[in-house]
Amino acid sequence: MRRSILLPLPVALAAVALIGAADAAAHVERPSTWPTYSARVPALRTHGPSIVVCRPGSGRRIADLPSARMRRANARLLRRCSTRSIQTAVNRAHNGTRILILPGVYTEPASRRKPFDDPRCADLTVMTAEGSEASSYRYQLRCPNARNLIAIVGDRDGDRRCDSKCRLQITGTARPRDVRIVGDRAKQNVIRADRADGIYLGNFTIQYSDFNNIYVLETAGFRVSRIVSRWSREYGVLSFASEAGLYERLDTYGNGDSGVYPGSGSQGLESERQCRSYGTELRHVNSHGNNLGYSGTAGDSVWVHDSRFHHNATGLATDSFATGHPGMPQHCARWERNRIYSNNVNVFSPQRQAYCMRPPLERDPRVVCSAFQVPVGTGALIAGGNGNRVVANRIYDNWRSGAALFWVPAVARGVTDPARQRDTSFGNQFTGNVLGIAPRGARRPNGTDFWWDEEGAGNCWSSNRTAGGGAPVGDPQALPACGSEDAYRFREGNQAKLTALVPCATWDPQTNPFPVGCDWFTKPPRPGAARPASAAPPAARTVTLGSGAGPLAWSPPSLLTGVSALPADRILGARIVNASNAPVELVAGAVRVVDGAGRELRSNAIFADTYLHRLWPFNGGTSVRPRKEQLRIGARVRLEPGASAPLTVAWRGGAGGAPRLQYPGGSLPLVE
């Protein structure tokens, strides 16, 4: 079984404050870090130098505006229009310029013509922590429109601080629906604000990016306000390694990862590192119809309040999965006074996943194709976080669980130090939430109100209210109360729960869209609805497995379990040991399960004993993952003689006798 390493809460949070001081990478982005100087959220300015942007049809659109006052103001601005391109206006702008965008559809044809892999910048790439090739900051500076439809790149002297194109304000002059910025689905970002301190973006609709509709990176002071962001292949609005930011009054939908993503939230201030202040605030956000409403790897020092996350696959999620993100492990987010409801949209149905195997440019961009596997039917999810607060939210009609919490080992983010593996799932508090009750009092139960893998210390649940005044439905039912001695007792976690999560880590939208043993992509039934009769899955039990042929042997004990939604599936969580005198290296994709007659069964294997997440797609699916990255995500293992490693294997059915695990060079039994 796994080695137990106890980290009391104060030690864990102290470790959090030290992690991430070095540069790190955002997804397939260059190594980045937070600004190290103070900043403020910019305010809307109504005076100062300005550039007016219009389109040939702006006059007609202005005439159709509903307000006479708005028509007059826009008509006056139309006489001052000096360019039809937002990027041209950015290029002309000086620090503090307001760029005013009149009603129209802005496609930026000059930017679209720039090659995605601009040969002028071919030598300006860097390697990320997981082994991807990314464009450097100098790449963005020299070739701003290779990867971006509109680029605001503000650091000219390379000191990581904005000195050009700072404090720009880019705003529509009518309603958000009247000003539409349209990507070509090939450029990664529609708008990129890179070291663009004081950027204010507001009052328009933006759509059709390959990565982010709006991307704010290494920026001190930003505001994204009154924007509709829709139909990005991944993120509607994403900020990363930025300080003093505000998302407000956003409507985000149709995005393949999440509507909003405040990732690697700032730890530039001591108060942020100690959970006393927030570097990023989200308020009055309406995020719906996405894969996730909100996500944030290393989403630190984020305050999310008075917002709605609904009709997504999962409502909100924060995590400590990826390698290289500054601020790991995640800590100090506060979700408060939000409505988190009806997150049961299954974007993983067989029909949807089959459709989403098409190349991106051959899909309807308004069809959500998931870029990240999530448990359908979940309201809020903390995957490997510390010191988070879930307070006074209304959480209802999420058919799997209202809120879920589970541990993520440090190895999932590339940290191999044994003493640091258990540095997540400490001090998360769920207090004062209203569960299973819609705003007007109607009962809308969650599948379970709270699901916990029972790992960590300092996690607690108190003063949460349900319909009729009863206790929340928990798994486990007895959840530690805040302030109790029980809450601060370290727990190693429920092994059966942890094992049941692991097969979901093998999801791949192209090669393994329905992992055996994973029930995340089966939409749960409505709570209280009649359920069809089905066979029960096996109860979790410890098994002792015999010897096999070849260099590997089981290192007992092993756990055999299953999931109720997939009663024909079996999941074995075990450890393998190299019993030979020579090193052994295996790729998980070469591991197979066969029945007694030698017929191959549907199966998947991974060298992990808890859920972890791989970054998808790797280099856009154009290259093989480096060996180091394969080892991190459990796709490969190397064992010296006598060494052991976790292995989780799931298989389905088979009536041809006792199944066996086969690998190049040997086999092992899977049942007693």
What's the pLDDT at 132? Answer: 78
Six-digit token string for 547: 């010897």
Pick the CATH number of 9-498 from 2.60.40, 2.40.10, 2.160.20, 2.40.230: 2.160.20
Determine the distance from the C-alpha atom of residue 554 to the mean position of all C-alpha atoms in its chain, rounded to a whole number.
Answer: 35
DSSP string covering 257-282, please? SEEEEEES----SHHHHTTSS-SEEE
- pLDDT tens for 476-507 read 999 999 999 999 999 999 999 999 999 999 99
Low-confidence ranges of the chain (pLDDT < 70): 1-28, 530-538, 615-622, 654-656
pLDDT at 30: 87
Cis peptide, bond prior to residue 515, ω within 30 of zero: no
What pTM, to 2 d.p., does this model score? 0.93
Contacts of 634 (CB under 8 A, 6+ apart): 505, 588, 606, 607, 608, 612, 646
Side chain identity at residue 299, one-letter code = G
pLDDT of residue 486: 92
Exposed, middle or buried, 274 (CB in 10 Å: 0-12/13-18/19+)?
A: middle
DSSP codes joined into one string, 513-566:
SS-TT--TTSPPPPTTS-----PPPPPPEEE-----BSSEEE-S-EEEEEETTE
Type of residue at 459: N
**What is the predicted pLDDT for the residue at 464?**
97
636 beta partners: 587
| Per-domain boundaries in the chain | 9-498, 516-669
CA 27 to chain centre: 10
